[in-house]
Amino acid sequence: MEQALAVLHKDIVAEFRTRHAVNSLIMFGVTTLVAVSFAMGPFGLSSHVLAALLWIILFFSAMAGLSRSFVKEEETGTIMALKSSADPTMVLLGKMMFNLILLAALEIVIVPLFFVMMDTWPSAPTRFFAVLLLGSLGLSAVSTAVAAIVSKAGSKGALFSVLAFPVLLPLLLSSISGTASALEGASPVWPELRLIVGYSGILITASFMLFEYIWEQ
């Protein structure tokens, strides 16, 4: 665990000094949110549409920034130094934690702005934030694993979105459905939460099982 925390600390320090990933994530998120609110704001949207818009913004912002964690190591050549010294599973865990923090930073900016600009507030805030937290956990974990796979490929950006989208689709649909229920406050979100936790758990476990093989290739 100490090794994973070392990777996390290194990534936070490096990101704090360059702000490449956090800037692209937040800029993309804010720009999309502003565009959406100006285009759709006056129409009094249903909770399902609002939930879909929120997760579309979060998903595409994540696509814009979360692949940086591994792609940057590959592009700058530091991956060889990591490979020669670090345990692969600890690297993956450290990068997952870093991406979760990055996504949380994005959400701290985007979600309150979303409430203000779309003039909405969840009827069941606890359920809303539970779905947001668990959905983000799954989103960041899966994005990290996919980033590791595509980091060696030529057209990393396009490949990252193309590969991540089908893998993340069940998670995304459950998160949208759960968020819509929490915004309405009418129906419980347990079925969605169970699906998010189960699906994320399977993907995270598979990532850890396969990562050593990906890392060695």
Partner 1 sequence: MLLRATGLCKRYRTLLVFDRVDLEVGRGQCLVITGANGSGKSTLLKILAGLLLPTSGQVEMEIDGRSLTAAQRRRLTGWVSPELTLYDELSARENLSFFARVRGVTLDVRTLDSTLSRLGLTQRADDPLSTYSSGMKQRVKYGFAIMHRPPFLFLDEPGTTMDESGARLLADIIDEQKRHGLVVLATNDREETAYGDRRLRLDGTGTGRPA
Applying CB under 8 A, the residues found at the interface with partner 1 are 2-3, 6-7, 9-10, 13-14, 17-18, 76-78, 80-87, 90-91, 216-217
Rounded to an integer, what distance in angstroms lies between the CA atom of residue 169 and that of residue 167?
6
Q: How far is the CB of 110 from partner 1 (least distance, A)?
A: 26
Q: How far is the CB of 21 from partner 1 (least distance, A)?
A: 12
Q: How far is the CB of 75 from partner 1 (least distance, A)?
A: 10
Rounded to an integer, what distance in angstroms lies between the CA atom of residue 205 and that of residue 202?
5
Q: Nearer to partner 1 by C-beta: 16 or 43?
A: 16
DSSP state of 118: T
CA angle 67/104/13 to nearest 5° reads 65
Q: Nearer to partner 1 by C-beta: 9 or 194?
A: 9
Q: How far is the CB of 10 from partner 1 (least distance, A)?
A: 5
Rounded to an integer, what distance in angstroms lies between the CA atom of residue 95 and that of residue 99?
6
Q: Where are the alpha helices (DSSP H) in the chain?
A: 2-18, 20-40, 47-65, 68-76, 79-83, 88-117, 125-150, 156-184, 190-216
Q: How far is the CB of 210 from partner 1 (least distance, A)?
A: 16
Rounded to an integer, what distance in angstroms lies between the CA atom of residue 108 and that of residue 29?
11
First to last CA, the chain: 24
Q: How far is the CB of 215 from partner 1 (least distance, A)?
A: 10
Q: Nearer to partner 1 by C-beta: 72 or 156?
A: 72
Q: Nearer to partner 1 by C-beta: 20 or 194?
A: 20
How many CB atoms neighbour CB 19 within 10 A?
Answer: 11
Q: Nearer to partner 1 by C-beta: 78 or 205?
A: 78
